Structures are given as structure tokens and as C-alpha cells.
Chain A
Amino acid sequence: MKAETRSRLEGALKAKGDLKLVAYIMAGHPSKKRSIEVGKRLAASGIAALEIGIPHSDPLADGPVIQRAGQTALAHGMTVAGAIEVAEAVARDGVPVVLMTYINPVLSYDPRKFAAEAAQAGVAGVIIPDLPIEEAEPITGWIRSASLDTVLMVAPTSPPERIANICSHSSGFVYCVTVTGITGIRKDLPDGVLELLAEVKKHTTLPVAAGFGISRQDHLKALRGKLDAAVVGSAIVDEIERAGDGVSLVRELLKACR
């Protein structure tokens, strides 16, 4: 069973008649300094949590926008240690920060050192998309013993028994991938998302968040009341790429959340 006390992420993402918004930025995109600035502005824009990506050379779950951001960040020298510094600077402002990266940079850094330093930096949780439940231990155990949440993902292709298993091992929230492909900006929410969310809700009391392909007010209106939070990634990263900061987009989207 889960601990009696709610984690920071759990508390921040649980909907209370509204829909919470989670924003995503890539550490070091377009530069370390700028990603800290943008992260701080987003943190103050009304979001419930901020995901900060640590760039990887082989981002197999990411679409073109986030891939490009990762390449830019790597070309400008972003590292795992540098991304933890970005997270620390943004987390200082009080928003719960979730680090999102792939397993190889974590393995290379040493998962225990990574967990300890992330916790020290004030990070609330970690998402590793290429670490499915079969491969999760001992790595997620180490991360959790540093008092960080380990957010696991369910997909439209996950059968109900897997969804139950993933929900029982996730902490902070459960991340619903809404499409069978990669991240990116899409016009419509894919078919079957609401059914998937209903299935996930059966298996957990944790907040449930949906991500991958969410970028518009009508997406959020359709989701409100069906889950706790929505993650907006590529649409914000796209604005950052075009020298924006995503804040006005977040404010627009928040109108559909209340």
C-alpha cells in the first residue's frame, strides 16, 4: 500500500473540479540560462507541475519538436548534471518539478547518485519512458528511497491486467500516453482516450494525467472531469524554439481547465 501521506506531486495534480496543467520544457533548450528563465516563468503561470527533460541522443519516444530541442540542448553542452542544476533553479520557486529522461543517461550517471542529487535539488519525481515495469527494479526502488516519486506510464496498448500492475507500482501520478506513437502536436484527441482513462481510474486513487498530443483548448475541454491533469509538451517547446516562453499558451489553455 501507498504511504499514508500524499506526496507533493500527488497533492499538486489531484483535480478539484478543475483540470490541472503540467508543462514540459527541455533542459538546455535553447540554452541553459534561457531554459531556467522559461521554467521560472512557466512555474508562475498557473501550472500544477513542470516536467523538465534531460536530453538524450536516442529519444525513442519523442516526436520531431522535442527531438530537435534535445539536439539543440546537447549541442550547447547540456548534461545530466547540468539538467539537475536547471531543475534546482526552477524548483526553488516552489513548483513541483519532474525530471524526464531515458534510462541510459541515468545508468551512465549512476542511478543512486542521480536520485540523491535530484532529491537534493528539490525535484519531486522522475519519469523514464523506456523503463517499463518489467525492467523497473532495482532502479525505481533506488529513486523512491531518495523520496522521489517514480511516475509510470500506461498506453492505449496496455491490457487491463498490465494497467492494474502499473498503477499499483506508480507513485505521484499515473501517466497515460494517449497515442500509440510518439510525442507531438495533433489536431484531435485520438479515439479511445476516454475509455483508457476510465480503465486507469478503476485501478488507482493516484491523480491520472494524460500526455502526448495535447495542445488545444478543445482537447482540454474534452478531458476535463475525466482525469486530473493534462501534460502539454511539444506545443510549449515549439513556442520556446520560436523564441517564446509558452506562458501565453498556458494561460489560454488554463481557461479551458477551470
Chain B
Amino acid sequence: MSRGALTHPVDGRFGAFGGQYVPETLMSALQELEDMWHEAKADPQFQLELAGHRRAFIGRPTPLYAATRIGDHFGGTHIHFKREDLCHTGAHKLNNAVGQALLALRMGKKRIIAETGAGQHGVATATVCARFGIRDWVTNVRTTHYIIGSVVGPHPYPEMVRDLQRVIGDEAREQYMSLDGKLPDVVVACVGGGSNAIGIFTAFLDDRDVSLVGVEAAGKGIRSGEHAASLVGGRPGVLHGSYSYVLQDGDGQILPTHSISAGLDYPGVGPEHAFLREIERVEYVAVSDKDALAAFKLCTRLEGIIPALEPSHAIHHAGVIARELGPGGRILVCLSGRGDKDMDSIPTKSEAEAVTSRGPLDVDEG
């Protein structure tokens, strides 16, 4: 089963999901991208260059951190964080942007475009454009490379972004094994488009005893309709060039979404996630704004780490799993980004709940 999962995509598809639902105008650019990516991936020189930028520019490998105080709080569980928040620019997004910028240079593309919905990918893209001297500007298909920020969009993007993000799980698995030679019971990651989750899950797909859990944004609750949980609350359809789970109305129109976290606020999800759910290799759940905020505070207070609101969803669910596993359980959480970007919005939103003191949030960012 999972052995098969690793060999995907086949003909641009993960099982029934994926594909290239784009206008003809883009098809030859996608074909070129696929050819160039496969060539680059197999080129030791490209890999060497990528490894150098990962080390010196992104700051990899990122640490594996034992979150013992949260672990104790959850009843004696061993919780570890993969610290993607310590990547340059504060999130895992740069892993992808650096790789795609190198590829753009290799393809002779002089310009870059990117979508900037959640902000972090926009920051990462602007950063690589500065680093590699590429113009961050829109022009036409022939001279421009579009850096998609997650494992979404038409083939080959979901595959390529996975290949660039799997460094998270490859490192984490090795670091985890070096602790005591054992694997975690469960790996947890938040899922918007799903790139940090695919990044950490990929290394564990063949480890049949390791449960993998993806956490979507339940917003104000799945039943409220104000959420961004495509796998938990959507149905299959085509969005942004690929066939996957989509939040849509009965007529196939894409629905507005809600999440407190911009990075999870997306009406679709990567096609590989749809496939991993279908073959029952990964379980997908959803966590509300309120629970994510509570986890945000808990982590800040107990660990001195301000997580982004996105992985705060995963931290909350790690607590749920911890209670199921009981003392001694082993959970690895992908801490996909740091939360100082969220500081402006959080106090006001949590003040509305009027429960906790603001103490832990009065952090000097200077």
C-alpha cells in the first residue's frame, strides 16, 4: 500500500487525483517544467547546489526539539517538534521557493510570479528573488516561472513541491531515530494546501506502524460552514488545475472559506492528500480556531516557542492524540512556522474570548 504511494504520481495522477486541468496556453510550459524538474532532480550538481543553499541560506537541518513541558501537560507524552519555524523567513515555505528559484534559473526564466494569499510564501518568493537576482514580476508564459507555494495546482507542481519539502521528514526521521532507535507512534501536521504535511509524511509512508494525521482548519466549526477543511468537509472537484477535494456548492462553485490562520484558509487541498486519505494511509481531522488559539498560548507559555497559528492546529490535535495514547506515547509534530507574523491579530481575537490573561503574549519582538 504505502510502497505504492511513494511511486506516485503516475501520468500526473495520485490514484484518481491530480491531473492538468488548465487552458491549452499553459500546457507546453507545464510539459517543459516536468521535463526540466526530472532532469534537475537526477542531476548531482543541482542536488549539491540545493544542499548548499539549504545549509547556508535556509539554515538546515532544522532541529528536532523535545517539548517536554507540553508533553508533561498532555499527561506524560513524548512530544517532539520539527522546528521549521527556525528556517530563514520563519517557515518551511523557503524549502520550496529556493528549489524552484534554482530551477527557474536553470530553465533560463528571467521572471517569477507567485500567489501571495497567506503571506509566508510571498515572503519566501521575494526572498529568493533577491538572493538569486530574479525579477519578481508578471509577464508571459514563455519567460516567467510561476512558483506555486504548496503541493497544489496542475502536475508537476504537487510532485515537485513534495520533492522539495520532503527534506523536512527525511531529516526528522533520521533525527528521531538517533534519539533511541525508535520511530514515533504518530506524526501530526497541519494541512491547508498541505506542503509541510506532505514534507514530513513522505519519509514515514513506508513505516506501517507510524500513524500519520493531517489537521485541517475547522474555523468556527464544520457545521457552521465557516471553515477551510476540504478533506473533512468537501467533495471531489477541480480547483486551480487539479482534481482533489474542494469546498464547493451544489453547482460546482467554489465556496468562501474561513480560518483564523491565513495559511490554512484555502478551499482546496493537494491531490496527494486526497489519495493518501483514499488509501487510508493518512487520517485527516479538523481543529477549530478556538482550539488552535488555546494551543498557540499553551505552546508559547510552556515552551517559550511562539508557533504560527497554522501548526497550532496540529499542536492542539497532538494533545488529543496524547490522551488516546496515554503516558509514554510518542508524537512528532511539524512546527511549520513561527507565530510572530500572527501577533497583531492574536491578542484582539483572544481578548474576545475574555478568558486568559495577556501575560504570555506580551513578548518583545524587538
A155: interface (CB < 8 Å): yes
Select one of A80, A130, A162, A166 contacting B22, CB under 8 A. Answer: A130
User: Which residue numbers of B lie inside 8 Å of A, CB to CB?
Assistant: 12, 19-29, 140-142, 237-241, 246, 248, 250-254
Contact yes or no, B21 A108, CB < 8 A: no
Contacting residues, chain A, for B22 (C-beta < 8 A): 60, 130, 132
Select from chain A the residue with minimum beta-carbon distance to B235.
Answer: A108
CA distance A79 to B252 in the complex (A): 9
**A interface residues, tally (CB under 8 Å):** 36
Closest 7 CB pairs of A and B: A108-B252, A105-B252, A155-B25, A57-B253, A155-B24, A57-B254, A104-B252
Contact yes or no, B20 A105, CB < 8 A: no
Contacting residues, chain B, for A108 (C-beta < 8 A): 237, 248, 250-252
A199: interface (CB < 8 Å): no
Shortest distance in angstroms between A60's beta carbon and chain B's nearest beta carbon?
A: 7
Given A104-B238, A135-B20; A177-B252 close (CB under 8 Å): no
A56: interface (CB < 8 Å): yes
Select one of B24, B240, B246, B251 contacting A132, CB under 8 A. Answer: B24
Contacting residues, chain A, for B28 (C-beta < 8 A): 157-159, 162
A181: interface (CB < 8 Å): yes
Select from chain A the residue with minimum beta-carbon distance to B255.
Answer: A57
Select one of B141, B241, B250, B251 contacting A157, CB under 8 A. Answer: B141
Interface flags for A55-67 (1: CB within 8 Å of B; 0: not) read 0111011000000
Contact yes or no, B252 A106, CB < 8 A: yes
Interface flags for A120-160 (1: CB within 8 Å of B; 0: not) read 00000000011111110000000000000000111111110
Shortest distance in angstroms between B33's beta carbon and chain A's nearest beta carbon?
A: 13
Shortest distance in angstroms between B145's beta carbon and chain A's nearest beta carbon?
A: 14
Given A58-B254, A104-B239, A105-B252; A131-B21 close (CB under 8 Å): yes
Given contacts A129-B23, A134-B27, 19 further A-B contacts (CB under 8 A): A58-B240, A60-B23, A79-B251, A104-B237, A104-B239, A106-B252, A107-B252, A108-B252, A130-B23, A133-B24, A134-B20, A153-B24, A155-B23, A156-B25, A157-B28, A158-B24, A162-B28, A180-B25, A181-B140
Can you report 29 residue pairs joining A to B where beta carbons are below 8 Å apart?
A: A56-B252, A58-B254, A60-B240, A61-B25, A74-B253, A79-B251, A80-B252, A102-B238, A105-B251, A105-B252, A105-B253, A107-B237, A107-B252, A108-B248, A108-B250, A109-B252, A129-B23, A130-B23, A130-B238, A130-B241, A132-B20, A132-B23, A135-B20, A154-B24, A157-B25, A162-B28, A177-B24, A180-B140, A180-B142
